[in-house]
Structure 1
Amino acid sequence: MSEENMQQLILDSTDKGIICIDTAGKCTFVNQSAQKMLERTEKELLGKEIIKLMCQAKPDGQCLPLHDSRICSLFLTGQGCTVDDEQMYRENGSSFPVEYSSYPIKNNGNIEGAVITFSDISERKRAENRLYHLANYDDLTELPNRHLFLDRLRQAITRTKRHKNQMALVVLDLDQFKKINETLGHEAGDHVLQEVSLRLSDCLRKCDSIARLSSDIFAITLENITKTDDIHQIVKKLLENISKPFHLTNHEIYITSSAGISIYPTDGTEISILQRNAEAAMYKAKEEGRNSYQFYKIEMNEKSYQRMMLENSLRLALDRDEFLLHYQPQVDLKTGKIFGAEALLRWQHPKLGLVSPADFIPTLEETDLIIPVGKWVLKTACQQAKNWHSNGLGKDLRISVNLSSRQFVRPGIVDTIRKVIQDAVISPHLLEVEITESTIMHNIQVTIESLKAISAMGVRVAIDDFGIGYSSLAYLKRFPIDTLKIDRAFIRDLTIDPDDEAITSLIVAMARSLKLSVIAEGVETNKQLLFLKDTGCDHIQGFLFSKPVPEDKFIKLLQEDHRLSFETEEKNSQKRDYCPIL
């Protein structure tokens, strides 16, 4: 084989494309790899201008003059280059990304052209684009993530500052979204998030930007704002779109959202401050009842700080033994005797003292703290009941414990209850778990299975706050329940509102037909007591007999055999701090 043939064989054996050009930029040599990548024959390529094979063009698509094209201008001055952001064209006009190196061909010091070696880097570019997408976009909704959004927010601020106008940052959170994941599953939750992202995007203008910051929190920038009314209209539309029904398999659900708004430059000129203020306004919207929006006000920061400190303190409270239980007696209307107690969570803060349940229970519910704290309540209440029984205080005294929605739907709740009973060595029938009406109706089949397993242990089941939900008689017959607790909303105006009287009488009659016991909550007056007794209600609890009390005071009530007197004159209603845990 001749030396020339050997050289040709070597050049054709490499997987890199090789093209030689003359000083006019025309191809004088191409190897087989170059022909293959460009999908052209040697005959078609020889004599062709290199700038017509590469993306060396003006914005209007016309080829650059030879002296302006990067690949030619360099070698003409005796310089080499390596480039990884170029495109080359195939015969059919399609392009592909290449990485190439170009070096001048010199003969006795004279430049006669250049040799160009290149590789198709399509796979690498796809991988880079995928990594960029993963780093900057939310995989579920395809919206920009926090990282990309902050960059876009920075750009939006720069544009707003340059044009001397205003922009708004909106932080939007779905109200009680976790309940969807817990009751219908994460697949349903993911579907809702995808639909929400589409609905929000449909409300925005071309100049606006949206991102998913975290699980159910979205952020939106509204640019080119000339008047506050523009913000009102857009945010109202956002909330209205989200409040429309979501159609899932076998389910139609409704959710709402809360939004907070901060305005540049009025509410801050730095990203962190704008974001913090928008979040503070969003929390204020939630406090005001959800399904609304709030513009930032200076005083909101103090409340946000207090909320943060409260949550931080709550996360330490369990380990520091700051939680305790109070017990509200439950009284039999036939004998007037205490037959049970509802365990209610209290928090003894080292600096704030006894914190109202209304101030910290919602925070527990909104975080995962409700799970360990709820387990502690169940365990402590059962152990306390065991101590009472061991000390001869109420042999058949029943202890009632609320289960939060998040506790009840969590896998393993049945095993948790079983272990707590075993550890406390307490008879299962002396424990009653209370579940709200809304909780049991979220996922009927799962609820029935869990309640059957709990009931099979011998543990009693009560539906709490009955009457304010949407359960039907048909469903009640399917649930293995023992007790209905009439919500205090019906008891409060019992003797002055005919509708409440009718509803309460109906609940009692329905319970008797289903052979269920009935407890009326929130009984505060003797008139309420007498009405309930005449109606046939089995049990009551409320301030008329006793508010929730610490363990030592509850023990004293048992030791003194404190009973309900039906001759007692009506007591004045008292403001209560009642807020049931779990």
Structure 2
Amino acid sequence: MIDLQSGGLPRRALFILIVISLLLLCWWVVFLSGGSALPHVHLVYVPIIISAFVFGPPGGVAAGVAGATLMGPLMPLDVATGQEQSFVNWSLRGVYFTGFGILVGGFRWALNARNEKIVEALNYDSETKLYRTSAFLHNISDCFVNRPENQRDAMIQFAVKNYDELIVAFGLEAYEAAIQSASARLSSAVPEASVLGRSGRDRLNVFLPDCDRSDAMQITAQILEILENSEDATGVALVLSLEAGVAISPDDASESEELLRAAAAAIADGALTSAQVHSFDRRTNDLRKENLELLAELRRALMNEGLAFYAQPKARCRDLSFCGAELLVRWNHPERGFIPPDQFIPLAERSHLRGAITTHALRSAFAYIGSLNIEDQPADSRISVNLSGEDVTDERFPERLSGLFRSNPNFLRRLELEVTETALVRDWAVAVPVLEALREMGITIAIDDFGTGYSSLAYLRDIPADTIKLDRAFIKDVVLSSQNQCIVRHAIDMAKEFGLTSVAEGVEDEATMHWLCDNDCDMFQGYWFARPMPQADMLSWLDTKSS
């Protein structure tokens, strides 16, 4: 039925007046046309339909009875002769009118019930009966328009961190039962003026009007204790591992949707911390936006060959002769200028772009091996490329690499692939066979940043490696630090015991170089010997070095 509640009595009276007016108009038209014997009598169905649609079956009955009366006892069969209708004639017509009104009103009731179910499904979550996101935002939108100047409103979003784990272990039905229980507890725990909602399967939202940040943080901590003790309908204890984000309006956002995004952003920004309750921080949020923009630009740079790979030469300790180079990625952004690798490489690894960077690096390595005539150098001269955890856990990586060197497979013997201990931890069972396959192709494997990972001794024993690269953190102050000297000396000795080549990174001065050479380190690299340089400069540097 048409909603009369919003208009109250005046609107109801207006519709009644319209129906009465139409009934009288129909009577007048039928009377002027000659009486009820003519087809014009059926005009009365119009006000009956309107009344039934507005007021349901009762309205259809009332209009039907009124129509039957107007077109029966009050309407001659023939106006010209004054012939009256028989009782049977106008009473049957009244039955038709009334029955039609009931039928239309019943249809309207059924349609209205169906619409109410649709509206409920669109606005309310079926399990928790909380507002869905769009309805939630609509219901709190007025608070942002009529709010007093000094009032603060809080948005809290609760996220179920172990959602996937609970679904896999207990199933969707048990999880939804736990969420239903949690939402009931939430409803009883928040202030009366609060508005509750649900976003997706793993988010619950709470809007707290007239609540500042400190109060919101305190309330959130109290609610977390209540929510994490929910049980499913079967009594099985399901531990909901929750964290919450808090955002305040107008400090963090001035609109409802923006405020909800800010609360979600607080959760995302606090993912790497141990805290359960995270407050929105605009600087962190701006940094995330900047990183996302940078990621999109990195994707374009990869498509348009916008990345370059500089080579940093390595030297043998015994005679300071050139023995290859490590390729280091460089991004000279057309607007931002030089962007350090530690700013975009982590972004690439989180978005699966790291593999594309590796492909570009391998192509550059192939070009360097050819242009620098590495094959004519001593056997230990190689071009090194850094791999990611995504690369070493990809069983198809050796085949992909072989395809990149298809035009000259002999170059593979002059390629060294560097992998960190951290990357290997990603999937040890897959990484080791991949590394073994690479070694069978003639490629040497280096453990990069040795000593900074998880279990260096175990890796030395189990990794199919040829080289260890001592991290610059130990090399930087090795001349002055007795502790660093002890660590580096033992690492070099272990490398020799295992038959591995030792390479020191970050050699910045002559004293460090001499200390490493005096302690039997095999190779080193760093600014003291040579800075990273593009391929053309590398050729000139080699010519100068040889002369």
Which bracket does the TM-score occupy, shorter chain normalised?
0.5 to 0.7
The answer as to whether partners of 1:278 and 1:296 remain within 8 angstroms in 2 is: no
Find the partner of 1:223 among 204, 208, 212.
Answer: 208
The residue that corresponds to 2:41 in the other structure is none
Q: Check if 1:496 corresponds to 2:480.
A: yes
Residue matched to 2:42 = none
1:78 equivalent in alignment to 2:64: yes
Q: Contact conserved, 1:393 with 1:559, CA < 8 A, in 2?
A: no
User: TM-score, normalized by length of structure 2?
Assistant: 0.63
AA of the residue aligned to 1:428? L
Q: How far did residue 501 of structure 1 move?
A: 2.4
Within 2, Cα distance between the matches of 1:310 and 1:262? 26
Matches within 5 A, 1:179-258: 205-206=186-187, 207=190, 208-209=196-197, 211-212=199-200, 220-224=205-209, 226-233=211-218
What aligned pairs does 1:145-160 form with structure 2 within 5 A after superposition?
A: 148-158=132-142
1:407 alignment counterpart: 391
Aligned residue for 1:274?
A: 259
Any residues of structure 2 matched to 1:86-101 within 5 Å, and which?
none
CA deviation after TM superposition for structure 1 residue 229, in Å: 1.9
CA drift of 1:532 comes to 2.4
Structure 1 letter corresponding to 2:64: G
> How far off its partner does 1:211 sit?
3.1
Q: In the alignment, does 2:531 pair up with 1:547? A: yes
Q: Is the 8 A contact 1:167 1:263 kept in 2?
A: yes
1:509–1:390 distance in 2 versus 1, CA, 3 Å: closer
Matches within 5 A, 1:334-413: 334-389=318-373, 397-413=381-397
The CA distance in 2 between the partners of 1:236 and 1:406, in whole Å, is 38
Q: Deviations over 1:386-437 (max 9, x none)?
A: 2222895777630111112233334522221121222454432211111110
**Whole-Å Cα distance in 1 between the matches of residues 472 and 242 of structure 2?**
28
In structure 2, the partner of 1:262 is 247
| Structure 1 stretch displaced more, 434-443 or 360-369 | 360-369
Query: 1:170 and 1:492, CA in 2 relative to 1: closer, same or farther beyond 3 A?
Result: farther
Match of 1:295 in 2: 280
CA 396–331 in structure 1, closer or farther in 2 if over 3 Å, else same: same
Task: Check whether the contact 2:316–2:323 (CA below 8 A) recurs between aligned residues.
Answer: yes
TM superposition shift of 1:455 = 1.7
Question: Residue 257 of structure 1 contacts residue 291 of structure 1 at CA under 8 Å; is this kept in 2?
Answer: no
Query: Partner of 1:556: helix, strand, or coil?
Result: helix
Describe how 1:131-146 pairs up with structure 2 within 5 A.
none
Partners of 1:258 and 1:290 within 8 A in 2? no
SS at match of 1:477: helix
Of 432, 441, 444, the match for 2:416: 432
Give the conservation status (yes or no) of the 8 Å contact 1:258–1:285. no
Task: Kindly provide the amino acid, as one letter, of the partner of residue 335 in structure 2.
Answer: K
Instruction: List per-residue Cα deviations over 1:230-249 (Å, max 9, x = no partner).
Output: 343467799999xxxxxxxx
Kindly state the Cα deviation for residue 302 of structure 1 after the two structures are TM-superposed. 6.1
Structure 1 position 440, deviation (Å): 0.7
Contact in 1 for aligned 2:432/2:464 (Cα 8 Å): yes
SS in 1 for 2:373: helix
Letter in 1 for 2:154: A
Q: Tell me the alpha carbon deviations over residues 76-98 of structure 1, each in whole angstroms, 9 at most, x when there is no partner.
A: 6539xxxxxxxxxxxxxxxxxxx
Distance, in Å, in 2 between the alignment partners of 1:438 and 1:238 is 37
CA 1:280–1:70: 2 relative to 1, 3 Å: closer
Give CA-to-partner distance per residue, 1:120-139, whole Å, 9 cap, x none.
x9xxx9xx99x969x9989x
Output the CA distance in 2 between the equivalents of 1:559 and 1:314.
Answer: 34
* 1: CA distance, partners of 2:129 / 2:307: 42
Deviation at 1:228, TM superposition (A): 1.5
Match of 2:449 among 465, 472, 475: 465
1:481 maps to amino acid: A
Change (3 A) 1:552 1:459: same
- Alignment length, in residue pairs? 430
Amino acid at match of 1:510: M
2:92 is matched by which residue type in structure 1?
A: N
CA contact (8 A) 2:450 2:468 kept: yes
Point out where structure 2 has 5 or more consecutive residues left out of the alignment. 1-54, 66-89, 191-195, 227-240
For the residues of structure 1 that align with 2:373 and 2:449, how far apart are their CA atoms?
28
Task: Give the secondary-structure state (helix, strand or coil) at the position aligned to 1:496.
Answer: coil
Partner amino acid for 1:347?
A: W
Counterpart in the other structure of 1:570 = none
Q: 1:143 to 1:422 in 2, by over 3 A?
A: farther
- Opposite residue 440 of structure 1, the aligned amino acid is L
- Mapped to 2, the partners of 1:280 and 1:459 lie a distance apart of 44
Q: What is the RMSD of the two structures over their aligned residues, measured on CA atoms?
A: 5.0
Work out the CA distance in 1 between the residues paired with 2:308 and 2:429: 35
How many Å separate the matches in 1 of 2:284 and 2:251? 15
Structure 2 Cα separation of the partners of residues 478 and 320 of structure 1: 40
Residue 537 of structure 1: aligned partner: 521
CA shift in 2, pair 1:466/1:144, >3 Å: farther
Task: Return closer, same or farther for 1:392/1:430 CA change in 2, 3 Å cut-off.
Answer: closer
Cα offset for 1:188?
A: 7.4
Distance 2:222 2:489 in 1: 44
Contact 1:169 1:220 (C-alpha < 8 Å) held by counterparts:
yes
Contact 1:137 1:144 in 2 (8 A): yes
More moved, 525-534 vs 340-349: 525-534
Structure 1 SS opposite 2:312: strand
Does structure 2 retain, via aligned residues, the 8 Å contact 1:393–1:558? no
Q: Is the 8 A contact 1:379 1:424 kept in 2?
A: no
**Which amino acid letter does the alignment assign opposite residue 543 of structure 2?**
Q
Q: Structure 1 301/473 Cα, relative in aligned 2: closer, same or farther at 3 Å?
A: closer
How has the CA–CA distance of structure 1 residues 525 and 220 changed in structure 2, closer, same or farther, with 3 Å as cutoff? farther
8 Å Cα contact 1:330/1:340 also seen in 2: yes
- Inter-CA distance 454–301: structure 2 relative to 1 (3 Å threshold): closer
Residue 519 of structure 1 deviates from its aligned partner by 1.4
> Is 1:449 the counterpart of 2:433 in the alignment?
yes
Q: TM-score, normalised by structure 1?
A: 0.60
Greater C-alpha Rg? 2
Q: Which runs of structure 2 are paired with 1:556-571 in the superposition (5 Å)?
A: 556-561=540-545
1:551, CA displacement in angstroms? 1.6
Match of 1:168 in 2: 154
**CA deviation vs aligned residue, 1:506-555 (integer Å, no higher than 9, x gap):** 22222222212221211223333233223322221112212212222222
Structure 1 pair 496–320 and aligned structure 2 pair: CA distance change class (3 A) = same
The verdict on how the C-alpha distance between 1:390 and 1:486 changes in structure 2, with shifts beyond 3 A counting, is: closer
Shift of 1:356: 2.4
Shift of 1:350: 2.1
Paired position in structure 2 for 1:6: none
The 1:274–1:533 alpha-carbon spacing in structure 2 relative to 1, beyond 3 Å, is: same
Take 1:257 and 1:559, find their aligned partners in 2: how far apart are those partners?
62
Task: State yes or no: 1:482 paired with 2:470.
Answer: no
Letter in structure 2 aligned against 1:270: E
Q: Is the 8 A contact 2:405 2:412 kept in 1?
A: yes
Higher helix share: 2
Q: Distance in 2 between matches of 1:462 and 1:375?
A: 18
With over 3 angstroms needed to count, the CA separation of the structure-2 counterparts of 1:258 and 1:75, relative to structure 1, is closer
CA contact (8 A) 1:383 1:424 kept: no
Contact 1:491 1:522 in 2 (8 A): yes
Q: 1:169 to 1:460 in 2, by over 3 A?
A: farther
2:524 is paired with a residue whose SS is strand
- Are the aligned partners of 2:327 and 2:385 in contact in 1 as well (CA < 8 Å)? yes
| Cα separation, 2, equivalents of 1:340 and 1:257 | 51
Aligned to 2:73: none
State the distance in 2 between where 1:561 and 1:488 align.
25
Q: For the structure 1 residues 202 and 111, does the alpha-carbon distance in structure 2 shift closer, same or farther, using more than 3 Å as the test?
A: closer
